[in-house]
Chains A and B, each alone.
Chain A
Amino acid sequence: MLTAAHLACSRGERRLFADISFSLAAGEWLHVQGENGAGKTSLLRLLVGLSPADAGEIRWRGALVGGMKTTPEAADFRRELLYLGHHAAVKDELDALENLRFSAAIDGLPFDQVKALAALQRLGLRGRESLPVRVLSAGQKRRVLLARLLTRSAAVWVLDEAFNALDSGAVQLLGALLNEHLAAGGLAVLTSHQPLPLPGGRVLAL
């Protein structure tokens, strides 16, 4: 469903990677590995369309996407895509529930409060949903962000260092969420420095 062919990327004079090709079908996931500065984040940003590739193409269900295109196909891809990057992407002044509500609004999707509360409960934030995110710990902030995995239905998950700042319980939980997602026919592209509690999956070493 998601195919990348001969992707290349450079930062300034430095060539980060070239000729990266892979293809993911429903239920498959890709583990992007590499040293610090190898270009893992660059590859992910390129894949979701936040930055243009020097060469190569990305296809979703056969249609060309990526590179900040504004075509209807690219909009369809974004509708089925959930990208969680390094940044927390949550607002300190808002509480967890409001953060989820505005994320949904920005995505142009209806907000289901019952579903959002269930998601926060599953992530262990029950009772903290009306506290400003500012007073939560780094790991809890991360959990607020991860709640989007449950409230927003997307076929492709692109997670950049999603296991950072999580305790062992949360790592297990995220593993379980990924398992459910893949079992339901989703795709995932992950970067992580630690071994993942997930069966199968392909490895792409940069």
Chain B
Amino acid sequence: MNALMATARRDVLLALRRRTDVLTAIFFFVIVVSLFPLGIGPEPALLKKIAPGVLWVAALLATLLGLPRLFQADYLDGTLEQMALSPSPLALLIAGKILAHWLLCGLPLVLLAPVLGLQFGLDAASLGMLSLSLLLGTPLLSLIGATGAALTLGVRGGGVLLAVLVLPLYIPTLIFGAGAVAAQSAGLGVEGHLSLLAALLALAVFFAPWATTAALRIALE
């Protein structure tokens, strides 16, 4: 567990020393979401209907923005080799990196989403549900994304390949995440959506660090 926290702390510190990467993703999220009400105009019913989808798709794309750099710096400067040679299990170190990615890239989206949701005229219950669904969903995006980032590490044009690889895998998260918010604003039950999201998250927490580690070992060879 110490190894996990060590890499998480290191990555957060590194990101704070070089803020542009993190701020770019957050700014992208804010701008993309804000463009929709401006483009569509004052039609409260329509805005309310598209809000869950817009916010969730924007969160997906914002997560994708930083993914190619998740392992790249460590790969290029040899830190990843040192991690692979550490007595601590590599999967734990990698889990720490994924945790840091979520703290820097996922958590800000969870906190910002309710504020941005106000532009779409969502009621308080729906805003709460939006935060809750993102709280369950963004770690999932980080976990799946990390596996994709590891698979495309060191590949030329890896950024595009990463998007092609990861976006289809994000579809279930998107459907259940946006679905939960839509169900809430339509006054329907949300337990089904949330439990499926939680189940996906539990699966990913277990398998994604392991799969990411296996992919990184291949990249290191």
Contact = CB atoms under 8 A, between A and B. Distances in A.
A81 B82 contact: no
Interface size range on B against A: 20 to 34
B85 A81 contact: yes
Contacts of B86: 78, 106-108
B2 A108 contact: yes
A183 interface: no
A31 interface: no
Contact of A50 (B7, B79, B85): B85
Contacts of B78: 85-89
Given A78-B87, A94-B14, A107-B87, A50 B220 contact: yes
Interface residues of A, number: 30
Q: Pick the most buried of B6, B7, B85, B220: most chain A CB atoms within 10 A of its CB.
A: B85
A88 B17 CA distance: 19
B215 to A, nearest CB: 13
Contacts of B17: 93-94, 132
B3 interface: yes
Contacts, number: 78
B82 A106 contact: yes
Given A86-B78, A87-B81, A88-B77, A105 B221 contact: no
A70 B84 CA distance: 11
A79 B87 contact: yes
A76 B93 CA distance: 18
Contacts of A88: 77-78
Given A68-B84, A78-B87, A106 B77 contact: no
A95 to B, nearest CB: 10
Given A89-B82, A106-B83, A68 B217 contact: yes
By secondary structure, the A interface counts as loop
B14 A50 contact: no
A33 interface: no
A172 to B, nearest CB: 25
A29 interface: no
A49 B18 CA distance: 33
Contacts of A17: none
A3 interface: no
Contact of A108 (B14, B87, B217): B87
A33 B85 CA distance: 24
Contact of B2 (A50, A78, A89, A105): A105
Given A51-B220, A94-B17, A89 B79 contact: yes
Interface of B: 2-3, 6-7, 9-10, 13-14, 17-18, 76-79, 81-89, 93, 217, 220-221
30 contacts: A48-B85, A49-B85, A50-B84, A50-B220, A51-B220, A51-B221, A68-B84, A76-B87, A78-B86, A79-B87, A83-B85, A85-B81, A87-B76, A87-B78, A88-B78, A89-B77, A89-B78, A93-B14, A93-B17, A102-B10, A103-B82, A105-B2, A105-B3, A106-B6, A106-B10, A106-B82, A106-B93, A108-B3, A108-B6, A108-B88
Q: What are the nearest 7 A-B pairs in CB distance?
A: A87-B78, A105-B6, A89-B78, A93-B17, A79-B87, A108-B88, A51-B221
Interface of A: 48-52, 68, 70, 75-76, 78-79, 81, 83, 85-91, 93-94, 98, 102-103, 105-108, 132
